[in-house]
Amino acid sequence: MMNKRAVRVGVVLGLFVLGAVGRLHAQDADKGKQLYAMCVVCHAVTKVNGTGPGLAGVMGRKSGTAAGFRYSRAMKSANLVWDEKILDAYLTDPQKVAPGSVMPLSGVKDPKDRLDIIAYLKTL
Ligand code: HEC
């Protein structure tokens, strides 16, 4: 027979499990910041360009428009707006979304990693 205490413990445990599952699915900008280690060699988190364009403000920006960066012809004419969906597709397989673009990254395979990176990009 369940006493009141057992019920209370059960409810607390249930909420804890739900919370953990919720976190598993949520985007995690802190995790994304760590994962950004694979981007930072080419992309500053400011507007300063390096091997790649600076990514500050990239969310909602038109592709190929960072001031002063020499994009490939392919990226200049890709005509995309970087939102979550397009970024997710681009980070999965850059060549599929912008064929002929020259980002030397074969893709980020883990979907959760991509979401976390995108969550971090939103903070820039
Ligand atoms: C070895 C260098 C390099 C790495 C690593 C790299 N990129 Fe790039 N990235 C580039 C270059 C170069 C371009 C410009 C491509 C072109 O002009 O075709 C680019 C373009 C982009 C663009 C388009 C920006 C715009 O202004 O239109 C985004 C978004 C982007 N990269 C995100 C990322 C993310 C996120 C990562 C890490 C997961 C990453 N890149 C890793 C070099 C790199």
Taking the chain (124 residues) in consecutive chunks of 10 residues, what is each chunk's mean pLDDT? 68 57 72 97 97 98 98 97 98 96 95 97 97
Pocket of ligand 1 (CB under 6 A): 38-39, 41-43, 51-53, 58, 63-64, 66, 71-72, 74-75, 82, 91, 101-105, 108, 117
Are residues 58 and 75 in contact, defined by beta-carbon separation less than 8 angstroms?
A: no
pLDDT, residue 1, reads: 62
Could you tell me which of 12, 29, 23, 22 has the C-alpha nearest to residue 118? 29
pLDDT, residue 2, reads: 66
pLDDT, residue 26, reads: 73
pLDDT, residue 49, reads: 98
CA 73 → CA 49, 53, 64, 77, 79, distances in Å?
A: 17, 14, 9, 6, 11
